Amino acid sequence: MPDTPLIAIIEDDEVLGRSLRQRFALEGFRVTWFTTITEARRALAGRAADLVLSDIRLPDGNGGTLMAELFDEYGILPTIFMTAFADIDEAVRLIKRGARDYVEKPFDLDRLIEKVRSILSQASGEEVTPFDSFGLSPSTAPIRRTLDKVADLDVPVLIQGETGTGKDVAARYLHAAGIRASRPLIAFNCASVPESLFDDVLFGHEKGAFTGAVGRHEGLVERAGDGTLFLDEIAELTPSQQAKLLRLIEAREFMRLGGSETLKTSARFVFASNQDLQDAVRRGAFREDLWFRVNVVTLEMPPLRDRRAEILPLIEHYIALSSRRMGRPAPVPSPEVLSFAHDDRWRGNIRELVNRVERAVALCNGASITMNDFWPDRMAYAVETSPGNSSDLMTLGAVRERAEKGHIKQVLHQSGGRIQDAATRLGISRSTLWEKMRRYGLSSEEGEP
């Protein structure tokens, strides 16, 4: 995983909260701890965590309320609830609404760590990069063409875009497409380490540089060699760190901590940010001279909602990946699931898609992924807010019709408008297909009304 995962803990018990924060930090995670929903809501506005670990009963409300708000802003996020015995029924209800799991207090902290690692490793999808789907949509095709053009050139590339849009996928595609493909690709999240460790992580140290430095240590720049150094979240760098990065880019040289030898680097630099760096320059938060250095080839990754052609291939890719990891046959998503997926806003972008796929593959029964498996938050909300009368049947009927129309439309397109071919694929007669096409106003040539 290129980024160090951020875990948000919401726990009002000071002893437990402090213990959890300390242990997860020691395990190498970035951790933020809140004692109330209000604190968490304020801090997580515009900044999604990779996993949420929350108590159910909090001083200012129910943890499920915050989960629903975060789902609404970012899409489904891996969420684990900590609960007392009396709240187990509530925990089960929250799982039906999209939570990943719950642990009963008092719990085994080592087992919780293992559970968190398992969930985050599944959600990263790092084993296989889905290059086949990258560039399928009109909004990403120009990005792929640009990356192809500059793949062999030694120029810095800056990739900007919302959190979860796949900036790391674009960086890895750039590396794989060029002459450096067989060389190292080193990824580093600039917000993942405190400022006091920045130099050591990036540049390394010599033996005796500080207490505990018992030998020479190569930093990430040195490990990158003549490959690619991918620096994510560069907008989070402090002024001091920005100055060091500027020198590295301009002079292509650095020194290990405690060392006297100036070392050269021939690595190719790729940068990413979920902030508009030009705006950061105007605000005085980012050095203008550094901006000029990184802004040679700049690409804007569009959100997933603007890349509809990539959604279904991505779902297929991650279902196959997750199924292999879990050692089970790949389940098939229902037409309703795919129809909703194609039309959804995807607030959490690709990160949300991966989370939904992982959860669905893990929890689905049999060979099919249902709406409740893939969209538990939406389905639970629909059930809880339904008036309990005949309008339920109308709503479900509308859902089925929408899904059926979308599926027929897709098959017609795949069949090139050939009615008999489409009917065979759908498993229905030619006359039945004609009847459904008339009902939904679909054309035989394009699958469009």
Q: Is residue 325 part of a domain?
A: yes
How many structural domains are present in the chain? 3
Distance CA 427, CA 147 (A): 42
**Where is the domain boundary, 246, 277, 301?**
301
Q: Is residue 261 part of a domain?
A: yes
Distance CA 177, CA 106 (A): 50
How confident is the model at residue 130, as a pLDDT?
A: 61
295 lies in the same domain as 211: yes
98 lies in the same domain as 82: yes
**Closest Cα partner for 3 from 346, 232, 204, 223?**
232
Distance CA 161, CA 219 (A): 28
The three-point CA angle 321-148-244 to 5° equals: 90
Sheet of 228-232, strands arranged across:
185-189, 228-232, 268-273, 157-161, 297-301
CB atoms within 10 A of CB 105: 12
Q: Is residue 445 part of a domain?
A: no
Q: Roughly what angle, to the nearest 10 degrees, separates helices 109-124 and 349-363?
A: 120
What is this structure's pTM?
Answer: 0.64
Query: Cα dist. 149→144, 145, 274, 370 in Å?
Result: 9, 6, 24, 42
Residues in the chain: 449
**Where is the domain boundary, 281, 301, 321?**
301
Q: What DSSP string describes 60-116? A: TEEHHHHHHHHHHHHS---EEEEE-GGGHHHHHHHHHTT--EEEESS--HHHHHHHH
**Closest Cα partner for 274 from 174, 190, 201?**
190
152 lies in the same domain as 290: yes
Contact 167, 161 (CB under 8 A): yes
How confident is the model at residue 427, as a pLDDT?
A: 67
Q: Is residue 115 part of a domain?
A: yes
CB atoms within 10 A of CB 64: 19
Contacts of 326 (CB under 8 A, 6+ apart): 361, 362
Cis peptide, bond prior to residue 331, ω within 30 of zero: no
pLDDT in tens, the chain (449 residues): 345 788 999 999 999 999 999 989 888 888 999 999 999 998 887 777 889 999 999 999 999 999 988 887 777 788 999 987 667 788 888 887 888 888 988 888 888 998 898 888 765 544 445 676 677 778 888 999 999 999 999 999 999 999 889 899 899 999 999 999 999 999 998 987 888 889 999 999 999 888 878 888 899 999 999 999 999 999 999 999 999 999 999 999 999 999 999 999 999 999 999 999 999 999 999 999 999 999 999 999 999 999 988 899 889 988 988 888 888 889 999 988 999 899 888 988 988 998 899 889 988 888 899 998 998 877 754 444 444 444 443 444 455 566 667 778 777 877 778 888 887 777 677 777 887 787 777 876 544 43
148 lies in the same domain as 273: yes
The three-point CA angle 315-321-325 to 5° equals: 140
How confident is the model at residue 107, as a pLDDT?
A: 87
Distance CA 301, CA 255 (A): 34
Distance CA 196, CA 67 (A): 34
CATH of the domain at 338: 1.10.8.60
**Where is the domain boundary, 280, 301, 322?**
301
313 lies in the same domain as 393: yes
How big is the chain by its Cα radius of gyration, in Å? 25
191 lies in the same domain as 333: no
158 lies in the same domain as 285: yes
Q: Is residue 102 part of a domain?
A: yes
Contact 156, 250 (CB under 8 A): no
Q: Is residue 382 part of a domain?
A: yes
Q: Where are the alpha helices (DSSP H) in 107-232?
A: 109-124, 141-150, 167-177, 195-203, 220-224
Q: Is residue 114 part of a domain?
A: yes
Contact 76, 356 (CB under 8 A): yes
How confident is the model at residue 402, as a pLDDT?
A: 66
Q: Which domain holds residue 119?
A: 6-124
Distance CA 225, CA 220 (A): 9
**Closest Cα partner for 57 from 12, 7, 107?**
12
Q: Is residue 312 part of a domain?
A: yes
